[in-house]
């Protein structure tokens, strides 16, 4: 018997929360990790870029596998890999080892996002799927609100490695919930050969769809701007503006709260309006916030609030952009939902990896690399969506 819808969404939300938990919980520890590992700011930032890269590349392999063997077996593999890699991260003694282990950890973590998104497509029609994605963001939105706060508190009582022990424990609980409470929504399909050529053909058929690319890559660029902010904000907030590590968590959580509230407003408005129109309007607002952010940093206008407020608006708009872009991109691809979901995640986190790597490469001791990368991503996403997707009438 299928569990109640609310329970299903909680479990699926917990699976998609692996990314924000793994990314956000250790952000307040960046300065401590530099000292403990005897390394530099950009070396620690590379551990974040490695996670994004692993998350992007790993998703492309889960898509064909989950369409062929069902949703749950690949999920078992991914969660097991995540547990082992998290333990390795906790025991790492160098930035180089941590970077490799973070890549492996991400390959395990991305199974949750790919398969949860595919399961939503299995269970709901396109409009209900968009509302379900918004509901998932209510669950997963708690992760970026609580994760940096928890990370900051852990640093007061234990070292940075305890953060990764907690992540391993979370994965064990998620694995138990998947095994005992999550039903299989897509039985194994022996008629689908698991061959590289077939998988490549499936990906190629989807990525040449202009509308899919306009939604997936357009929205993904906006999300990449958020990850540029995530990569750069520990330095900008803590080092440049003197925010304490534990207070950084609360500020980060406030931005995440804006994102969650926007996602819930989006879910409430969907029955009465077009999620395509909501997506385009949110992209326009995001682009305007990006311009204000660059101007504030370049001129020094507004001080810390001149940085924080446009970032808050930028991140909040993603509560409209991400669920609508995902639902619109995946709607025509029901039979290949796993492949479509994997490609969506690969595009998003591939762009995120590039954006976060740029923060380290452009690091010059100011907030300009973060602000410029955020703005470039937001404006490029708006332009790409406008170019590839016909506006609603």
DSSP states of 70-131? -SHHHHHHHHHHHHHHHHHHHH--SHHHHHHHHHHHHHHHHHHHHHHHHHHHHHS-HHHHHH
Report the Cα 198 to chain-centroid distance in Å.
28
CATH code of the region 5-183+193-388:
1.20.1250.20
For the chain, which residues make up each domain, given as ranges?
5-183+193-388
Return the number of other C-beta atoms located less than 10 Å from residue 357's C-beta: 21
Report yes or no: 135 and 35 within 8 Å, Cβ to Cβ.
no
Q: Is 257 exposed, middle or buried (0-12, 13-18, 19+ CB in 10 A)?
A: middle
* Residuewise pLDDT in 10s, the chain (393 residues): 567 777 888 888 889 889 889 988 998 888 889 999 999 888 898 898 899 889 888 877 787 788 788 889 999 999 999 999 999 999 999 999 999 999 999 999 989 888 887 888 787 766 677 677 767 766 666 777 778 888 888 888 888 999 999 999 999 999 999 999 888 888 877 766 666 666 677 778 888 888 888 998 888 999 899 989 988 888 889 888 888 877 887 888 888 888 888 877 877 765 555 778 888 899 999 999 999 999 999 998 888 999 999 999 999 999 889 888 888 888 777 666 667 777 887 888 788 888 888 887 888 888 899 999 999 999 999 999 989 986 544
Between CA 154 and CA 165 the distance in angstroms is 11
Return the number of other C-beta atoms located less than 10 Å from residue 168's C-beta: 18
Q: What is the pTM of this model?
A: 0.74
């Amino acid at each position: 018997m299928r569990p109640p819808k609310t329970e299903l969404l909680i479990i699926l939300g917990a699976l998609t929360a692996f990314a924000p938990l793994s990314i956000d919980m250790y952000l307040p520890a960046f300065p401590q990790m530099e000292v403990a590992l005897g390394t530099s700011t950009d070396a620690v930032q590379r551990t974040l870029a490695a996670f994004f890269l692993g998350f992007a590349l790993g998703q492309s392999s889960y898509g064909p596998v989950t369409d062929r063997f069902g949703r749950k077996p690949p999920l078992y593999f991914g969660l097991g890999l995540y547990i082992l890699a998290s333990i390795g991260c906790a025991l790492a003694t160098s930035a180089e080892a941590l970077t490799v282990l973070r890549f492996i950890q991400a390959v395990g973590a991305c199974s949750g996002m790919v398969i949860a998104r595919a399961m939503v497509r299995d269970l709901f029609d396109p409009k209900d799927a968009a509302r379900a994605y918004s509901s998932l963001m209510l669950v997963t939105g708690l992760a970026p609100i609580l994760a940096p706060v928890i990370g900051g508190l852990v640093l007061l009582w234990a070292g940075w490695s305890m953060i990764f022990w907690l992540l391993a424990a979370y994965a064990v609980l998620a694995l138990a919930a998947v095994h005992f409470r999550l039903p299989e929504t897509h039985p194994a399909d022996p008629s689908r050969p698991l061959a590289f050529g077939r998988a490549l053909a499936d990906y190629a058929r989807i990525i040449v769809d202009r509308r899919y690319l306009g939604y997936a890559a357009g929205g993904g660029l906006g999300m990449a701007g958020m990850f540029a902010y995530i990569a750069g904000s520990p330095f900008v907030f803590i080092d440049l503006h003197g925010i304490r590590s534990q207070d950084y968590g609360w500020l980060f959580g406030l931005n995440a709260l804006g994102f969650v509230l926007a996602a819930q407003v989006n879910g409430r408005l969907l029955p009465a309006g077009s999620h395509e129109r909501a997506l385009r309007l949110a992209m326009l607002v995001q682009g305007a916030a990006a311009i204000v952010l660059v101007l504030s940093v370049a001129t020094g206008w507004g001080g810390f609030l001149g940085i924080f407020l446009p970032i808050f608006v930028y991140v909040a708009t993603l509560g409209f952009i991400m669920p609508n872009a995902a639902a619109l991109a995946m709607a025509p691809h029901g039979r290949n939902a796993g492949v479509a979901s994997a490609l969506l995640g690969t595009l998003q986190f591939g762009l995120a990896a590039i954006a976060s790597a740029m923060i380290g490469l452009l690091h010059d001791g100011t907030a300009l690399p973060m602000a410029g990368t955020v703005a470039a991503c937001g404006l490029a996403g708006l332009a790409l969506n406008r170019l590839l997707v016909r506006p609603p009438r």
